[in-house]
Amino acid sequence: MTGSEPRTPHVSASSLRHASQVTGWGHTAPARVRWINDVDLVPGELGRRGAIARGMGRAYGDAAQNSGGVVVRATGSTIDLDPVAGTVRVAADVTVDDLLRHIVPAGWFVPVTAGTRFITIGGAIAADIHGKNHHRDGTFGEWVRSLRLLLASGEEIDVTPQSDPDLFGATCGGMGLTGVIREAVVQLIPVESSQMAVSTRRCADLDAVMSTMVDAEDEHRYAVAWVDATVRGARCGRGVVTFGDHAGHDGADLTAYRARTPVRIPGPAVPLVNSVTGRAFSAAWYRRAPRVRDAELMSIPAYFHPLDGVDRWNRVWGRRGFVQYQFVVPLDADAVVRRALEMVAATRPANFLNVLKRFGSGSDRPLSFPMPGWTLTVDLPATREVAAVLRELDDLVLSHGGRHYLAKDALASAHTVAAGYPGLGAFREVRDRVDPNRVWCSDLSRRLGI
């Protein structure tokens, strides 16, 4: 397998007595855990701390760790493409990177991809990931046709939206708390080229960013904006909007798909991002963007996964680590986005990466994050000052009917999640049915009382 986190070697059941330390992608809240492969897993023998599945470790907080308990490494490498139906049966441990290398040359693409290709299919389902095309195509769970799930009872079952809609809905977005996903059948989308046609607009303020996204998103499958939270006043939230569509067959040949090995950052010793370098990078990024550029041909990795070009880029904050804070608020609460950027700018933290998107329709999956509205993601150093600002921002988000993304969370409280997810009770009912003894649990589930 390829990826930017070393794969844990195959371990037998006897390896349960050996522990190692893991963290989320933000390098906060380290946990001592014991490892086991899913093929050696006997749910009834896990002990009182239970277990949680872990893929590439790209959840930013503590969703894929289990202090004092077991972490399950999925195994398997199945990629079985059905070119007639346009579906793929794929093992949960296969990464999006692995899958793209297989399906793009055959004329197919994943229906939804996050900002990194180094996540597993099991993780994509558990977090019900969204992408730049949510306004059009929804989340990953919308495209899963069936999944194979290992239950707390030890039984393996096939689950579809028709066979058990409640369990299926609770698993897509359920952060691994309904069972261990073994494999899935996923609907793909056809593509004619290994390149993207990308249009860019540089916008002088947040109003321009938002109006540009609203005006053009119906014409494009993908839309995203980088926004600047290092400047204050009227310029706070200025940004660069990019729209993308899969290029036609006159673009690069499908077999030209390439995902280069990323450059590795050493460390983490000295943080490379601070308030000075963050402002310098943000200013340079804004100024280098063209005011207007249409239909630029760009590779799939360059458009969808630019940060994957730097291996372990999470080290740039140094040993203290960082938090990625993501919330969504309704479309008429866009003032919350502005206030959030102003709050970040006022603290002058080490910051350079802030992403704004517009979500389309939500789903009835109880822990699925997206709902119609604006979603903002900010990366910030893991400091007490930042934590205080984000707690204040939590209250603002909730007061406007918003919520927070569990796959990114490292700081939220049980109250915050309960207030933001009205379907939490329905999720607990499903979990009570399939896992009454809470065999599947994580540091996140205990912290948030899920």
264 and 277 part of one domain: yes
In a domain, 57, yes or no: no
Task: Say what the pLDDT of residue 13 is.
Answer: 43
- What value does the mean pLDDT take over residues 383-408? 96
Position 378 pLDDT exceeds 60? yes
Of residues 15 and 414, more confidence is placed in 414
Task: Say what the pLDDT of residue 310 is.
Answer: 87
Task: Say what the pLDDT of residue 255 is.
Answer: 86
Position 234 pLDDT exceeds 60? yes
Percent of the chain with pLDDT over 90: 83
**Could you tell me if 411 and 390 are in contact, meaning their C-beta atoms sit under 8 angstroms apart?**
yes
CB 427: neighbour CB atoms within 10 A? 22
229 and 367 part of one domain: yes
- What value does the mean pLDDT take over residues 32-51? 92
CATH number, domain of 233, equals 3.40.462
In a domain, 24, yes or no: no
Position 104 pLDDT exceeds 60? yes
- Asked whether the bond before 330 is cis by omega within 30 degrees of 0, the reply is no
204 and 341 part of one domain: yes
274 in the Ramachandran plot: left (φ > 0), alpha (ψ -120 to 50) or beta?
beta
Task: Say what the pLDDT of residue 206 is.
Answer: 97
Q: How many helices (H) and strands (E) does the chain have?
A: 12, 21
Position 18 pLDDT exceeds 80? no
201 and 182 part of one domain: no
Q: Distance between CA atoms of 382 and 325, rounded to whole angstroms?
A: 11
* Number of domains the chain is built from: 2
Position 53 pLDDT exceeds 90? yes
- Residue 24 backbone phi and psi in degrees, to 5: -80, 180
Instruction: Among 153, 175, 191, identify where a domain stops.
Output: 191
Distance of CA 432 to the CA centre of its chain: 26
Q: Quote the mean pLDDT of the chain.
A: 92
Position 20 pLDDT exceeds 80? yes
- pLDDT bin (cut points 50, 70, 90) of residue 3 is very low
185 and 262 part of one domain: no
- CA 210-309-373 angle, to 5 degrees, is 25
In a domain, 13, yes or no: no
207 and 338 part of one domain: yes
114 and 133 part of one domain: yes
In a domain, 379, yes or no: yes
In a domain, 352, yes or no: yes
Q: Distance between CA atoms of 67 and 23, rounded to whole angstroms?
A: 10
Instruction: Among 191, 217, 235, identify where a domain stops.
Output: 191
- What value does the mean pLDDT take over residues 10-35? 77
DSSP single-letter state for residue 93: T
141 and 202 part of one domain: no
Percent of the chain with pLDDT over 70: 95
- DSSP for 362-408, please give it: --S-TT----SEEEEEEEEE--HHHHHHHHHHHHHHHHTT-EE-TTT
Instruction: Among 170, 191, 212, identify where a domain stops.
Output: 191
**Mean pLDDT lowest for which of 75-79, 239-243, 270-274, 388-392?**
270-274
CB 23: neighbour CB atoms within 10 A? 19
CB 307: neighbour CB atoms within 10 A? 14
Four-residue CA torsion sign, 430, 432, 435, 441:
positive
Task: Say what the pLDDT of residue 9 is.
Answer: 37
Q: Distance between CA atoms of 309 and 297, rounded to whole angstroms?
A: 18
CATH number, domain of 179, equals 3.30.465.10
Q: Distance between CA atoms of 348 and 26, rounded to whole angstroms?
A: 20
- What value does the mean pLDDT take over residues 148-161? 97
97 and 202 part of one domain: no
In a domain, 431, yes or no: no
Give the bridge partners for 31, in sequence order: 22
- pLDDT bin (cut points 50, 70, 90) of residue 5 is very low
Q: Distance between CA atoms of 203 and 239, rounded to whole angstroms?
A: 5
Q: Where are the alpha helices (DSSP H) in 8-129?
A: 96-103, 121-126
105's tokens = 């040359």
In a domain, 421, yes or no: no
pTM above 0.85, yes or no: yes
169 and 266 part of one domain: no
Position 396 pLDDT exceeds 50? yes
Strands 189-190, 180-187: pairing is unpaired
Question: Residue 124 sits in which domain range?
Answer: 79-191
Of residues 351 and 431, more confidence is placed in 431
112 and 253 part of one domain: no
292 and 330 part of one domain: yes
Q: Distance between CA atoms of 73 and 96, rounded to whole angstroms?
A: 17
- What value does the mean pLDDT take over residues 372-388? 95
pLDDT tens, position by position, 261-319: 777 776 655 678 888 999 999 999 999 999 999 999 999 999 999 999 888 888 888 88
In a domain, 175, yes or no: yes
